[in-house]
Structure 1
Amino acid sequence: MLHALVVSAVLLAALKPATGAALQARAAKHVTLDVVNAKLAPDGFSRSTVVVNGQYPGPPILLTKGDSLSVTVNNRLTDPTMRRSTSLDLDGLFSTTSELYDEGSSFVTQCPIGPNASYTYNHGPIDQAGSFWYHSQLSIQYIDGFRGPLIVYDPEDPHKALYDVDDLTTIIQMGDWWHNTTLSPTMLPQYEATGIIPVSDSSTVNGVARYNGGPAVPWSVVNVVAGKRYRLRLINESARNVVTFNIEGHSLNIIEADGGNLVPHTVNALDMLAGQRYSVVVTANQPVANYWIQTPFVGGSAANNLNQNASLARAILRYAGAPIADPTTPMSAGPFTGSLVEADLAPLVPQAAPPADVNMTLDLEVIAGQAIWTVNGVSFLPPKTPTLMQVLEGASTEADFNVTENTFVFPPNKTIQFTFPPNDDDDAHPLHMHGQNFWLVKPNTTDVINTVNPIKRDTAAAGANGMILRFSTDKPGPFHFHCHIFWHYQAGLATVLLNNANATRAEVHPTPAWEALCPAYSALPADLQ
């Protein structure tokens, strides 16, 4: 279940309409996240977790466009079988230049936060709105439960006339779930040795799941009133799984992707890769009853984990006046007709992708039989000294970094085009860009190149049909660019994009707290890192 995050009183006011002038004067929102180990059983199987404030998913962070955000992370991890350091990534939020180091990418923009330590991240004023999320960016730690929603409401939302309800009850989070409590120390090395990614036991919807042979955990329920229109904010918080979202008997009117407003586009179902977000408007226009919210997933062969059953990934849409009961229709895992084709999406405000100044081809390859992924022949290894620290100390060219850091250096105010050739492996890689979004010039779902009005987002698939994207280097700093299948990320499928090293040194101003992170982390024994 979702629980409101305990924050300063002004956060509650963030959900109230405000004028443009009021947005400029909004006070900072102060949030405290206590990262702890807790025994939880989202699907009925009890295990130790790494979670925020003792709950999974983590408590919502709710903001209004124009807010500044201050997040204090208190590391209270004690379980010796799990990673005890941590970090925070506010996924999809763009950091301001002077606070660039607060983006939370371990070993790119900061060192991790050790146990019994605290660190405060500062962002804003936030000139974005939409559906985002937060998670640990250390190793594969967020698989253990450190993940939750971050919503930025827009009082002047151009789609406001399309829906009646947009609140805590309409946030829908999906996430893969493993029973094994030693994912980082045992399953990650096993994956690295064999190349076989562990298969999740179940897939949660708002923190609830079932698995083969497990207890009948009560389904998560989304309550609606006949005749009303609901903005559902869908977030795929998986570390691997591709989720298909469908509501029995109801159409989905897509209005947002990764924080970008879209021309409304109606489908019956949509596929979501790890890290992707959509807002859809659903009208409660069917007879009063209970309907399945179906979220079947793909993420490895179920033969490798007999607990897994994709048809058990679901929740209930319950109309007011309907009995407290399961829907009477059979549980299905699809396929569904009328599914989204990403290439059919268009931005609400058309914007042409600027002509490319620099063209690069990025080949994604895996070494057969091993968990070693490469980008243009290089498997990413996190540096001991974070990229940003190296830049502040003078690093400016690609030769200044170790080859295994896979750092691409770009001049300022240019447009870069990345072309991803078709790959023949089984996964569509959800490539995620930190700190900025990109023009999706050719999605994986089409052969057509669209430079006239492509959508902009921060996570998209490089798969069997290839992909082309463009982005601007108008914001200085190092930005992580990686696969959001975190098993692949840990196996080397990542790069760092360094824009304008000189401006980074001139405009980024580290605090003593940031400078203290690396010495403190380096001094920790290995079992506390």
Structure 2
Amino acid sequence: MQLLSALVLLTLLKAHPTTAAVKEYTLDIVNAPIAPDGYNRMGILANGTFPGPLLTANKGDTVKVTFNNKLTDESMPVSTSIDFDGVLFNTASVYNEGSPFVTQCPFGPNTSYTYTLRLGEQSGSAWYHSQVSLQYADGLRGVFIIYDPEDPLKYLYDVDDESTIWSVADWWHSTSTATLNSYNLTQVIPLQDSGLFNGVGRYVGGPEIPYVVQSVTKGTRYRFRLINISVRWQVFVSVDSHTMTVIEVDGTPTQPLETNMLSLMPGARYSVVVTANQAVDNYWINAIPMDPGSPNKYEENPVFDPTLSRGILRYAGAPDAEPTTPMTQGPEGTAANLLQEHELRPFIPTPPPEPDYILNFTTSMAINETAWLFNGTQYESPKVPTLIKILDGASDAADFNKSENTFIFPRNKTVEINFLPDPTDELHPFHLHGNRFWVIKSNESDIVNTVNPPIRDVAAKGNGGTILRFTTDNPGPWFFHCHIFWHFWAGLGAVMVSDPEGIRQQAKPSEAWDELCPAYNALPVVEQ
């Protein structure tokens, strides 16, 4: 068995003997007013907050999260389904993975569903969000941290707790339904109105909402967990006068790598160590959003200013005030040391196996219509979820509609996805559910690394070409899609099915899961 395969199985199946516990959370999904940048609008929120409540657990725990759907505002989606990005589900619990019409049907108003996550040996920074339509743009997104009490990199930092979590996000004053309607008419994603750091931001002409303050003590080393919970926007993060040492990417511990600026695509997560080694003062935390498709289009929305997206790093003893230095977009020119993805190395050296299958993939936008094509096919959600079809006997491509864009592989194989260079295309953050992949070639570099490349679950596909590999040792139907959700909604996705027979033998759906599709199909169309 290849090394990564063995690690994944240990992650999924092995319970940690000293910390294993059952943690239970209950989140009410409600329509409530929200004004993270001072502009009031209705949102879709977990327990009425944005971001949603922080979920935490330790390696080895079992986490049960009950979502009560109390949505009533039909100007936005009212059915929901929750995805836990960065959490690996094994085959027995694949039905709880949360991908609508792949592993489950959504659940409608006045109903509840409990997701059970058996964490095994996995740890790291993850998050949760609605996977239905663009619903998470309305606020249904939050952070999920899995701590490792025996973290082998713990010697590098002193503090890692709820106070050292940094989320960055994009925000629109219009509802997701309104932005989808605009996108459908124009083929252009409406420009956001603000960028948020830990749920707070500003827009041009709006109130000067106080920025989030990160308190630090001089001489202390902090592990900050950066999670980009955006729907569209790439975010560049830096801290004035400080460096950052990367020690985790998308749940995979990495060999320490120093930088002073990070680029996070939607869905990406990093842990960085920052030492409070500067003079006692206030320093800007820059969280600058950039449109990965059109980085110079800020002028299209007069209320959006990317430099207003930030927080404050405040040393104990510093005045209760904003930094006196300019609001910049971070280090520039020779002072900039932007992290290069291809330089990352897993903490445990993990060579990728040679591929058994090589898939050459292209992405393109259909002319004169709002459709994104993945290898010439626009993905469309089926009425019967992929998992149900497999449990009923589907085993090869002929058992699925072409629009389901479903790829089927035997167990214990290695699949290479080769995104060909395309100078006409924009940057897409591709995310694979249920697995992590080796980034054999990063979009930003010509280097091909088949010895010890980065391991993650979100990687950029752009005009430079990207090569990914993953193994099929975890049977299940796993979404593979662009994490820009307008593109995903317009068809930029596929389903990677590992070992259909293994799924039938090992998946053990619950009675509550069995009831989801009949209940969803009985809903009035307006409620779906």
TM (normalized to structure 2)?
Answer: 0.94
Report the Cα distance in structure 2 between the residues aligned to 1:192 and 1:496, rounded to whole angstroms.
Answer: 24
| CA drift at 1:519 | 0.9
Q: Is the 8 A contact 2:16 2:120 kept in 1?
A: no
Runs (5+) with no aligned partner, structure 1: 1-18
Q: Is the 8 A contact 2:87 2:119 kept in 1?
A: no
Report the Cα distance in structure 1 between the residues aligned to 2:424 and 2:253, rounded to whole angstroms.
Answer: 32
| CA drift at 1:369 | 4.3
Counterpart selection for 2:277 from 271, 274, 285: 285
Taking the TM superposition and a 5 Å limit, the aligned residue runs for 1:372-451 are 372-425=371-424, 427-451=426-450
SS at match of 1:355: coil
Report the Cα distance in structure 2 between the residues aligned to 1:42 and 1:125, rounded to whole angstroms.
Answer: 32
Q: Which residue number corresponds to residue 98 of structure 1?
A: 92
Q: Which residue number corresponds to residue 307 of structure 2?
A: 311
Report the Cα distance in structure 1 between the residues aligned to 2:85 and 2:527, rounded to whole angstroms.
Answer: 25
Counterpart selection for 1:273 from 253, 265, 271: 265
Q: Which residue number corresponds to residue 511 of structure 2?
A: 512
Tell me the alpha carbon deviations over residues 324-367 of structure 1, each in whole angstroms, 9 at most, x when there is no partner: 00000011124531111111111111111000011110111112
Tell me the alpha carbon deviations over residues 61-84 of structure 1, each in whole angstroms, 9 at most, x when there is no partner: 000000011111100111121111
Moved more, 78-87 or 315-324: 78-87
Report the Cα distance in structure 2 between the residues aligned to 1:125 and 1:179, rounded to whole angstroms.
Answer: 36
Q: Does 1:70 find its partner at 2:69?
A: no
| CA drift at 1:198 | 1.1
| CA drift at 1:304 | 2.1
Q: Which residue number corresponds to residue 256 of structure 1?
A: 248
Inter-CA distance 356–116: structure 2 relative to 1 (3 Å threshold): same
Taking the TM superposition and a 5 Å limit, the aligned residue runs for 1:171-250 are 171-181=165-175, 183-184=176-177, 186-250=178-242
Q: Residue type matched to 1:410 in 2? A: F
| CA drift at 1:504 | 0.5
Tell me the alpha carbon deviations over residues 23-73 of structure 1, each in whole angstroms, 9 at most, x when there is no partner: 3xx221111111111101000000000010110001110000000111111
Q: Does 1:523 find its partner at 2:519?
A: no
Q: Is the 8 A contact 1:194 1:369 kept in 2?
A: no
Report the Cα distance in structure 1 between the residues aligned to 2:289 and 2:31, rounded to whole angstroms.
Answer: 27
Q: Which residue number corresponds to residue 321 of structure 1?
A: 317
SS at match of 1:188: helix
Q: Is the 8 A contact 2:381 2:404 kept in 1?
A: yes
Q: Which residue number corresponds to residue 481 of structure 1?
A: 480
| CA drift at 1:194 | 1.8
SS at match of 1:359: strand
Percent identity over the alignment is 50
Q: Is the 8 A contact 2:261 2:330 kept in 1?
A: no
Tell me the alpha carbon deviations over residues 287-333 of structure 1, each in whole angstroms, 9 at most, x when there is no partner: 00000000111125222211110000100000000000000001112
Report the Cα distance in structure 2 between the residues aligned to 1:316 and 1:355, rounded to whole angstroms.
Answer: 46
Q: How many residues align?
A: 507
Q: Is the 8 A contact 1:405 1:496 kept in 2?
A: yes
Q: Which residue number corresponds to residue 332 of structure 1?
A: 328
Report the Cα distance in structure 2 between the residues aligned to 1:37 and 1:262, rounded to whole angstroms.
Answer: 40
Report the Cα distance in structure 2 between the residues aligned to 1:384 and 1:71, rounded to whole angstroms.
Answer: 26
Q: Is the 8 A contact 1:243 1:296 kept in 2?
A: yes
Q: Which residue number corresponds to residue 343 of structure 1?
A: 342
SS at match of 1:189: helix
Q: Residue type matched to 2:223 in 1? A: R
SS at match of 1:197: coil
Q: Which residue number corresponds to residue 29 of structure 1?
A: 23
Report the Cα distance in structure 2 between the residues aligned to 1:333 and 1:248, rounded to whole angstroms.
Answer: 10
Q: Is the 8 A contact 1:96 1:123 kept in 2?
A: no
Q: Is the 8 A contact 1:59 1:148 kept in 2?
A: yes
Report the Cα distance in structure 2 between the residues aligned to 1:498 and 1:305, rounded to whole angstroms.
Answer: 41
Runs (5+) with no aligned partner, structure 2: 1-14
| CA drift at 1:422 | 1.5
TM (normalized to structure 1)?
Answer: 0.94
Report the Cα distance in structure 2 between the residues aligned to 1:85 and 1:369, rounded to whole angstroms.
Answer: 30
Counterpart selection for 2:287 from 287, 295, 299: 295
Q: Which residue number corresponds to residue 142 of structure 2?
A: 148
SS at match of 1:461: strand
Q: Is the 8 A contact 1:436 1:458 kept in 2?
A: yes
Query: What RMSD, in angstroms, separates the aligned Cα atoms of the two structures?
Result: 1.2
Tell me the alpha carbon deviations over residues 372-410 of structure 1, each in whole angstroms, 9 at most, x when there is no partner: 111110000001110001111111111100100000011
SS at match of 1:524: coil
Q: Is the 8 A contact 2:341 2:454 kept in 1?
A: no
